[in-house]
A and B are shown apart, each in its own frame.
Chain A
Amino acid sequence: MKTKSLLCIAAALAVALLLVPVTAQQSRAAEPYNLGVALAITGTGALYCKDGVDAIKLAVDEINAKGGFLGKHPIKLFIRDTHTKPDAAVRATRDLITRDKVRTVLGTYSSATAVAIKPVCQEYKVLHIPAISNSEGITLTNFSPYTYQVVPNSYMQAKAVVLGVAALAKKKGWKKFVTIASDYEWGRSTQQNTVALLKQQAPEIKLVKEFWPPLGETQFTSYITAIMAQKPDFVIGSIASKDNVAWMKQAKAYGFFKKVPYPGSLISVIELILQAKTLDRGLVGLCRAPFFAHLDIPMMANFVTAFKKKYNRYPSDWAVMEYDAVYVLKQGIEKAKSIDTEKVKAALKGATVATTRGQLYFRKIDNQLSCSSYLGVVADDPKYPFPIYHDVVEVKGPDSWRPEKEIIAARAAEKKK
């Protein structure tokens, strides 16, 4: 019968389709080191992630030029798009692990995707280095021994801002403030930490109102007028990526920054570059890994030169941190003398590593790198075609991270639930 034969052919095709990739996988040699990257090639995070992916490629090329990890395991890169969505990120991660057999997953952009893929990596015993997203939730609760964080987390960044702001407030007599933060995991956790820490540091300063523009907001006019209506002494913002660009551009057009001080919001190197012409000089900004703060370290100087040579632009914070992530992995493997994930994981525990940001170490309790946060005043510099931070204040990791006592308490509370 015609239909039956048609169906048979279809079934045979389906089976063939299934089997081909399976057999292809089995014949793959074990020698190369499969490295997975789960980043947002599209969606809200694409702006930051492109730099990250480029830096990873650069690091991989450098290492492969010397034969790969341990000189004999060339790195094979597998890059997947998380679409900045947790579900898609989980799918991408499982895909990387079960199909491409990666041993480490680098990523991700949004904190919500990072916390979603963390348990998956743990389950499959695969290392996970989230080098862009920095919600404290990644390392604080539901702790995974396979996750190593090389970004100053949201608590550390908040603490750095608070130290800076408290000093400014004392000097200028500021009494009340409002917050504006993107309505998603990172915005929320950063805002909460900042408010709580500021209350400890300077209890006399009052929070008047909180604003939560949705992620992906393109028009901030109504927020700008509403904030001005509150007549705050200063505003704390936690808005990232393209939303931050839209917000700063529109706020400036309202003459906002001339009226209301806006200290300590995230102005990463990419914003400095993109808004070179329009950014108000004199703003006090915060960033995670500015290359210009560490040009005295040879590793950073070399990285910047190589990055500039390859891509004809300066690396952003996100590039610096993804680059560090690859080299942290390299050092872990060298210390373990093996690419076996369990051994690398054990070798990285509490390890001191050389990064572009200096000699840093992983804290044992949460695998958080002791990296710094950076505050500074936006100002022009003859060396660059864009403004950089002057009077950089580097708040060291160990001075800003959450005390171990509180981490233990948070985990105990989680267990009770």
Chain B
Amino acid sequence: MDLSLLFAQALSGLSRGMMLFLIASGLSLIFGVMNILNFAHATLWLVGAYACYTLWFLMQEHGFAVWVAIPLAALGVALVGWVIEVMLIRRVYARELPEQLLLTYALVLILGDLIKITWGVEDKLIARPAALAEPVFIAGVPIDSYFVFVIAVGFAVYFALWWFLNKTRYGHIVRAAVFSREMVSALGIPIPVIYTGVFVMGIFIAGLAGAIQGPVGSVTLGMDMAVVIQAFCVVIIGGFGSLPGTLVSSIIVGEVYAFAILFWPDGALALIFILTAIVLIVRPWGLFGTPMRA
């Protein structure tokens, strides 16, 4: 097998990984700061995809439709996230882990049916923007140009988050809250406001990821179910709350999957779970996490 083919596989793995990163980064952020594992994350991601469809549908005569629909959809989902935080999540901060988990699980079921009521059961198709319809060639290897866009957005989100967490005052506060809620609140900074902000930000990224997913295939009910477990795996492998960890593990998972398809197609998904189990057993806090939270 020659090198260019391996390179093509690596590129497709990278695009898969970046798609996962977009979903998992918000999940990881929310868990890292708020200690809440959000089962409904992928369902909100799906809301993003549907919202993108509707917005695109309204503007489809125009060439810019998708480009406008994606950010608007993300903002819309962020708004939904804000409502959910204020109405539900806020009430269970002080509760036990199982109750928090269950509440977000219940959200998966509720949102799933609300999506069905709102958008119906038909699959929704979003036409690709003309600029991204043809493959591009990198070193003679073809890659779907839309995924070049996905990879670019993935890195952009990574750097934006990194900049926010490391270079801004709010970012410092959020990072401090990861380590000690008591300390932050002793400094007179209201923890609930931080939590709301972080939750909405995480959900915004999920909505963005969903909107970007929209034009990839068709948007359908139940898509979230396949994705949510993989996103959990990514977050576990990378380490809860670690941004670089999530990036690296997304890429690892994407590449493992891509190359498993090449060499052991039957076991591609199983490999991801085995990898996750090994990380949990050997290093429960993940590759880049800190053990103090375990």
- Write the residues of chain A forming the contact surface with B, with a CB cutoff of 8 angstroms: 41-44, 46-47, 49-50, 209-212, 214, 216-226, 228-229, 242, 245-247, 249-250, 253-255, 274-275, 277-278
Q: Are B222 and A222 in contact (CB under 8 A)?
A: no
| Other-chain contact of A214, B15, B144, B213, B226 (Cβ < 8 Å) | B226
Asked if A229 meets B221 with Cβ closer than 8 Å, knowing A219-B16, A245-B123, A253-B135, the reply is no
* Alpha-carbon gap, A218 to B212, bound state (A): 12
- A220 vs B257: C-alpha distance in the bound complex, in angstroms? 11
- The answer to whether B290 has its CB under 8 Å from any CB of chain A is no
**Interface 1/0 per residue, B112-152 and A, CB below 8 Å:** 00001000011101011000111100000011111100000
A–B Cβ pairs within 8 angstroms, 28 of them: A42-B222, A47-B123, A209-B265, A211-B265, A216-B222, A217-B226, A218-B226, A221-B144, A221-B258, A222-B261, A223-B261, A225-B8, A226-B9, A226-B261, A226-B262, A226-B265, A228-B5, A242-B217, A242-B218, A242-B220, A245-B125, A245-B217, A247-B217, A253-B128, A253-B132, A253-B145, A254-B135, A274-B218
In the assembled complex, which residues on chain A have CB atoms less than 8 Å from the CB atom of B226? 214, 216-218
A216 to B8 alpha-carbon distance, docked (Å): 23
Q: Is the CB of A216 within 8 A of B225?
A: yes
CB B231 to nearest CB in A, in angstroms, measures 13
Q: Which 7 A-B pairs have the closest CB atoms?
A: A246-B217, A221-B12, A222-B258, A46-B121, A229-B5, A245-B218, A225-B8
A255 touches B261 (CB 8 A): no
B292 at the interface (CB under 8 A from A): no
A280 to chain B, nearest CB (A): 12
A242 touching B123, Cβ below 8 Å: yes
| Contact pick for A225, options B9, B121, B122, B125, CB 8 Å | B9
Cβ-defined contact, A212 with B266, below 8 A: yes
Residues of A within 8 A of B1 (CB): 229
Set of chain A residues within 8 Å of B261, measured between Cβ atoms: 211, 222-223, 226
| A269 CB to nearest chain B CB (Å) | 14
Q: Which residue of A lies closest to B217 (CB)?
A: A246
* Contact call B5/A222, Cβ cutoff below 8 A: no
Contacts of B127 in A (CB 8 A): 277-278
Asked, given contacts A245-B123, A253-B145, A275-B125, whether A225 binds B220 with beta carbons under 8 Å apart, the answer is no
Residues in A with CB closer than 8 Å to B269 are 214
A212 x B213 contact (CB < 8 A): no
Chain B residue contacts of A210, Cβ below 8 A? 265
**Please, which residues of chain A bring their CB within 8 A of the CB of B26?**
none
Tell me if B97 counts as interface (CB < 8 A to partner A).
Answer: no
Max chain B C-beta neighbours (<10 A), residue from A228, A246, A255: A246
Residues 104-118 (chain B) with a chain A CB within 8 angstroms: 116
Q: How far is the CA of A78 from the CA of B257 in the complex (A)?
A: 43
**Given A218-B226, A278-B127, A42-B221 contact (CB < 8 Å):** yes
Cross-chain contact B221 with A222 (CB below 8 angstroms): no
Question: Is the CB–CB distance between A222 and B218 below 8 Å?
Answer: no
Closest to A218 in B: B217
Residues in B196-241 with C-beta less than 8 Å from chain A = 213, 216-218, 220-223, 225-227
Per the bound structure, the CA–CA distance linking A278 and B133 in Å amounts to 10
B247 proximity list for chain A (CB < 8 A): none
CB distance B216 to A218 under 8 Å?
Answer: yes
Which residues on the A side are within 8 Å of B134 (C-beta)? 253, 255
On chain B, the residues within 8 Å of A245 by CB distance are 123, 125, 217-218
Let me know if B11 and A225 touch, CB within 8 A.
Answer: yes
Contacts of A226 in B (CB 8 A): 9, 258, 261-262, 265
Taking the closest CB of chain A, its distance from the CB of B122, in whole angstroms, is 6
| Residues of A close to B143: CB separation below 8 A | 254
CA distance A249 to B269 in the complex (A): 23
- A218 in complex: contacting residue of B8, B135, B213, B258, CB < 8 Å: B213
Q: Answer whether residue B19 sits at the interface, using C-beta atoms and an 8 A cutoff.
A: yes
Which residues of B lie under 8 Å from residue A223 when comparing CB positions?
Answer: 261
Contact with A along B17-48 (1 / 0, CB 8 A): 00100000000000000000000000000000
Residues of A within 8 A of B245 (CB): none
B122, B142, B265: the one within 8 Å of A47 (CB): B122
Contact yes or no, B142 A219, CB < 8 A: no
- CB 8 Å contact bits of B85-111 with A (1 = contact, 0 = none): 000000000000000000000000000
Given the known inter-chain contacts A222-B13, A253-B133, A253-B135, please indicate yes or no for A50 contacting B217, CB distance below 8 A. Answer: no
- Asked if B125 and A274 make an inter-chain contact with CB atoms under 8 angstroms apart, the answer reads yes
Give Cα A374 to B107, complex, Å.
44
Contact B227 A218 (CB under 8 A): yes
Smallest CB separation, A74 vs chain B (Å): 28
Assess whether B133 is in contact with A43, with CB atoms less than 8 Å apart.
Answer: no
Beta-carbon nearest neighbor of B225 in chain A? A216
Minimal beta-carbon separation of B272 from chain A (angstroms) = 11
- In the complex, A217 Cα to B261 Cα: how many Å? 13
Looking across the interface, which residue of chain B has its beta carbon closest to that of A210?
Answer: B265
Q: Which of B1, B8, B269 has the most CB of A within 10 A?
A: B8
Interface centre among A49, A211, A218 (most CB of B within 10 A): A218
Contact B121 A42 (CB under 8 A): yes
A223 to chain B, nearest CB (A): 6
- State whether A250 and B122 are in contact (beta carbons under 8 Å apart), knowing that A216-B226, A218-B213, A225-B12 are contacts in the complex: no
Between B128, B142, B144, B147, the greatest number of chain A beta carbons within 10 A of the residue's beta carbon is seen for: B144
Contact (Cβ within 8 A) B220 A250: no
Partner of B221, one of A43, A220, A228, A278: A43
A42 pairs with B16, CB closer than 8 A:
no
Q: Given A218-B223, A253-B145: A229 and B128 within 8 A (CB)?
A: no
Cβ-neighbour of B223 out of A212, A216, A254 (below 8 A): A216
Cα A274 to Cα B128 with chains together (Å): 14
Beyond A46-B121, A47-B122, A242-B218: 16 further Cβ-contacts under 8 Å? A47-B121, A210-B265, A216-B223, A218-B223, A221-B144, A222-B257, A224-B12, A224-B144, A226-B9, A229-B5, A247-B217, A249-B128, A249-B217, A254-B142, A255-B142, A274-B218
How far does the alpha carbon of A219 sit from the alpha carbon of B222 in the complex, in Å? Answer: 15
Neighbour of B121 across the interface among A41, A212, A221, A255, CB < 8 A: A41
Q: Is the CB of B8 within 8 A of A246?
A: no
CB-CB < 8 A to B122: which residues of A? 46-47, 50
Alpha-carbon distance A222/B121, docked complex (angstroms): 28
The answer to whether A253 touches B144, judged by C-beta atoms less than 8 angstroms apart, is yes
